[in-house]
Amino acid sequence: MKIGLDIMGGDYAPDAVIEGAVDALVQLASDDRLVLIGDNRRIREKLSSMGAEPSRFEIVPTTQVIEMSDHPAKAFSQKRDSSIAVGFGMLKSGMIDGFASAGNTGAMLVGASYTVNVIPGVFRPALVALIPNLDGRNSVILDVGINPDCKPDVLLQYGILGSVYAKYVLGIEKPEVGLLNIGTEESKGSAAVKASYELLRESPEVNFRGNIEGHDLFTHDMTDVIVCDGFVGNVVLKMAERFYGIAKTRGINDTFFDRLNFEVVGGTPVVGINENVVVGHGISNRKAIMNMILQTRDVVHADLARKIKEAVGG
């Protein structure tokens, strides 16, 4: 299995990315390979300075960089030798089994939609995040940022995509699905959410439990899969991250709050596309990069993109 890593993406690239790759390598199985995509000279210099053996990686040299401030679609089409464009090319041609980057999220989504393409039958891809439960488990929440406006059929499908993720990546046999809402009653919520409640309830493809509310998150009342539009999901995710920061600010050391630290989570998989792609936080440090790579490994080992294809395409 080969994981492609964009060495040039992220606020602390390339150093922190290479450091994270070195840390991740020791945790990968011996037949898992890391493909470092980026500036050849800088990669080799950094590996050398770390005393790491370049032969343990594959290195794919590129000459261009899509900056965080670049216009995603324009940069993706114009910088054909950028690490992101090259990574998606390798992914599409099967040279790597998964691709991870902490670079320009917009460019990653352009690559996801226009190079590897959306799976036929998927209305809109989604970004998936994990929400820690006090009981030690994790739940899957989607979408957390791609689609701020979601039609009911899109929300229903997120229930299906999230269930596939929970089953194959987290190993939950029959994941319960909840609809994030502002009350427990069926009649609550926005027009789109109310309509999606009915679709979820009637669908034989999801194990729907009903609405869950903001105070159900993190607790035993939380479902395995939490369906919401990318607006509210993004606010939930960023607010949870803030509580990690608040705990640190207040001098609180607690293993639950530590699980809200994005560094521990690593990245956000894109689901609904033909290949396995994970997008990292722009501010990813060494530890976050390492965890992004391990998460990509889990997604690739679960064969997630193909499992979703089977669930949606039949």
Residues that bind a copy of itself (CB under 8 A): 134, 145, 148-149, 180, 182, 188-191, 193, 213-219, 229-232, 234-243, 245-246, 249-250, 252, 254, 256-257
Q: Which is nearer to a copy of itself, 168 or 257 (CB)?
A: 257
* Helices within 55-114 (DSSP H only): 72-78, 83-92, 105-111
CB 308 to a copy of itself: min, Å: 24
Centroid of chain to Cα 88: 16
Q: Which is nearer to a copy of itself, 228 or 299 (CB)?
A: 228
Q: Which is nearer to a copy of itself, 44 or 71 (CB)?
A: 71
CB 311 to a copy of itself: min, Å: 27
CB 280 to a copy of itself: min, Å: 16
* C-beta of residue 112 within 8 angstroms of C-beta of residue 273: yes
Q: Which is nearer to a copy of itself, 45 or 213 (CB)?
A: 213
Q: For residue 4, what are the CA distances in angstroms to 38, 59, 98, 137, 245?
A: 10, 10, 6, 28, 31
Compute the CA torsion angle 115, 116, 119, 123 (nearest 10 deg). -40
CB 102 to a copy of itself: min, Å: 17
Q: Which is nearer to a copy of itself, 112 or 236 (CB)?
A: 236
Nearest-angstrom CA–CA distance, 25 and 23: 6
CB 145 to a copy of itself: min, Å: 6
The strands making up 33-38's β-sheet, listed across from edge to edge, are: 58-61, 33-38, 2-6, 98-101, 276-280, 267-271, 126-132, 138-142, 225-227, 176-180, 207-212
Nearest-angstrom CA–CA distance, 201 and 212: 14
Q: Which residue has the tokens 């300075």?
A: 49
For the chain, how big is the Rg over CA atoms in Å?
19
Enumerate helices (H) and strands (E) in the chain, giving the number of each: 12, 11
The two structure tokens encoding residue 38: 């980026």
CB 239 to a copy of itself: min, Å: 4
Q: Which is nearer to a copy of itself, 121 or 214 (CB)?
A: 214
CB 91 to a copy of itself: min, Å: 26
Q: Which is nearer to a copy of itself, 30 or 249 (CB)?
A: 249
Q: Which is nearer to a copy of itself, 237 or 289 (CB)?
A: 237
CB 149 to a copy of itself: min, Å: 5
- Cβ contacts of residue 43 below 8 Å, gap of 6+? 7, 14, 18, 36, 54, 59
